[in-house]
Amino acid sequence: GCIRAGHIQISGMAQGKNVVITIAVKIEDSQVRTMLSGIQERANNLTPAMRLIGQIVRNSVLKNFMEGGRPGKWRPSKRAMQGGKTLVDTARLQNSITAKAFSDRAEVGTNVVYAAIHQFGGKAGRGHKVNIPARPFLMVQPEDWTEINAALADYLLKGAK
């Protein structure tokens, strides 16, 4: 809002004498203006915040691999039933997860060709005879939103660290 200096003048009589009380109020809002200007400037380029948010989501995706699915466990693969881990053989898919930051978004993903069949499930193999169950690994977990919101708020209010 608009904050300005102002005067309040009160006139009256006290014990038969004319009394005038003047109160001068001056509120300096330069700090507020500086803070709002900084927030506006940072909001125009969220790249530093998006870099952090991308890492938060990437770490969450890697945790999905470590835990064999979250929030619910993935249907175990044959490898997992023989002592291995589902979706982790050579760890190529897991290690391919990248995060990219832009001024208005963060992108987390993979360039591995077979990632989609594991994310969404479907028929695969020769003649599409093998049914691959969906094992969604690219997921933002509900608990991630607290950290994401805090990272964005922290950047907007305080700037990059």
Strand boundaries in 3-132, DSSP class E: 6-14, 17-25, 98-101, 106-109, 122-124, 130-132
Quote the pLDDT of residue 2: 46
Which residues fall within 8 angstroms of residue 71, CB to CB, at 6 or more apart? 141, 142
**More confident position, 109 or 83:** 109
Q: Is the pLDDT of residue 138 over 60?
A: yes
Is the pLDDT reported for residue 9 higher than 60?
no
What pTM, to 2 d.p., does this model score?
Answer: 0.76
CA distance 105 to 99: 11
pLDDT (tens digit, 9 = 90+) per residue, 48-59? Answer: 999 999 999 999
- pLDDT (0 to 100) of residue 5: 53
- The helix-helix angle for 144-158 and 30-43 (nearest 10°) equals 130
Percent of the chain with pLDDT over 70: 82
pLDDT digit string, tens, across residues 62-93: 999 999 999 999 998 888 888 888 888 889 99
- Give the DSSP letter string of 110-144: ---TTHHHHHH-EEESGGG-EEEPP---S---TTH
Q: Which of 63, 58, 69, 59 is nearest to 121 (CA)?
A: 69
